[in-house]
Structure 1
Amino acid sequence: MTPNTHLPLYWPVFMMQGVAALIFSAVTWLLPQATLGALIAIFAAFFMFDGVSRVWLALKQKDSSPYWYLTLIAGALGIIAAIVTVAMPQLTAMVMLYLIAFWAVAIGVMEIVAAIKLSKYLDGTMLVLISGIISVVFGGYLMFNPGQGILAVLWLVAIYAFIFGIILCWLGFKMRSLQKQGESG
């Protein structure tokens, strides 16, 4: 029995990822300014929480760890990142743009590899391969065209997430049918 034999058991994960991508797509398309503002606020809150907790931890470890100051520096940098995020949301938006770009390329490469490996076990993995190629192209486009405007990019992200969600839901259904075939066979 190969490890890939268990893959169809995880079809609900693909379905949940697909539905989450579809919901994200709808919210981003309908409320791009709010989506951008929410993402920036989440970044700021995370940086602040992380920074403050690291400063607290560093101060608690001051007597027991010779490297406590490294944690203190990391905490201070987190607090500074939170302040910069709030003070310069445009800079944060550009950083987020690049994070999305790198994420899309990484996901795309993984989808291409998965499509090639799954093609031995499933028919119709061409859509996953195409999704991977689209992800890589999309990420590359974002990296080399950052000046197109973050709102336009958010709309592109919404379209991408919609396509990605549809393909993941389709893959979940295919895996579910493969699982049912395995149970009956």
Structure 2
Amino acid sequence: MLLYYAKLWWVVALRGIFAVLFGLCAFFAPIATLAVLILIFGAYAAADGVVALAMAISGKERDGSDRWILALQGVLGLGIGALTLFNPAVTALSLLLYIAAWTLATGVLQIVAAVRLRKEIPNEWWMILAGLASIALAFLLLWNPVAGALAVLWMIASWATVCGILLIGVAFRLRRAHHDHLHGKPLAA
């Protein structure tokens, strides 16, 4: 599984960069971001789903048993993105539930992937922390869904920024593992 992820380290980095950019936009342009949050989130979830599905589908290794984790993340992202984009009026209130369900499921799946990678990559805790950050956001959204829209926007921006930074950290680890593999160095356990 490590070699599969390591080959696509740049895709993990791209997911992280998109998340950080989304978070920064939400922090620095809150009024504009709030007005288009539904469309931004729908597009982000769909794009993240496409990227995760592309990672799952593009693997040609014999051991494809772990690709279901990425495929499931991709289907979740595409589904939530489609629901958000096709129901903008209804989504205004239910968006919090969509985001909570998506971040909860994605967080759990990231932790599952990290546990599976724990013997193949050092410091898999980066991915575990990304998963825990997603789960924390889900619980915060479910705990008080009527909270002010700006506070919710800042929670989403914080989550996106933190997860993005953590995914970029994972990407650097994967890049190092890919580089080591290409140069015949043994992979760190």
One fold, TM greater than 0.5?
A: yes
Partner residue, 1:5:
3
Q: TM-score, normalised by structure 1?
A: 0.69
Distance 1:42 1:155 in 2: 14
Q: Is the 8 A contact 2:96 2:141 kept in 1?
A: yes
Structure 1 stretches of 4+ with a deviation exceeding 4 A read: 41-44
Distance 2:98 2:27 in 1: 19
Deviation at 1:39, TM superposition (A): 3.0
Distance 2:41 2:22 in 1: 17
Q: Is the 8 A contact 2:26 2:153 kept in 1?
A: yes
Bigger share in helix:
1
User: Mapping of 1:24-173 within 5 angstroms?
Assistant: 24-40=22-38, 85=89, 92-173=91-172
- Decide which structure has the larger Cα Rg and report it: 1
- Structure 2 counterpart of 1:157, one-letter code: I
Q: Is the 8 A contact 2:133 2:163 kept in 1?
A: no
Partner residue, 2:12:
14
Distance 2:148 2:97 in 1: 13
Question: Per-residue CA shift, 1:16-47, capped at 9, x if unaligned?
Answer: 01110111011011112211211346799xxx
Deviation at 1:143, TM superposition (A): 1.3
SS at match of 2:15: helix
Q: Percent identity?
A: 33
Deviation at 1:144, TM superposition (A): 2.2
Question: Per-residue CA shift, 1:118-164, capped at 9, x if unaligned?
Answer: 11111101121122122112202201210211210110111111110
* Unaligned residue ranges in structure 1 (runs of 5+): 45-77, 86-90
SS at match of 2:122: coil
Q: Is the 8 A contact 1:115 1:128 kept in 2?
A: yes
User: Mapping of 1:166-185 within 5 angstroms?
Assistant: 166-185=165-184
Q: TM-score, normalised by structure 2?
A: 0.68
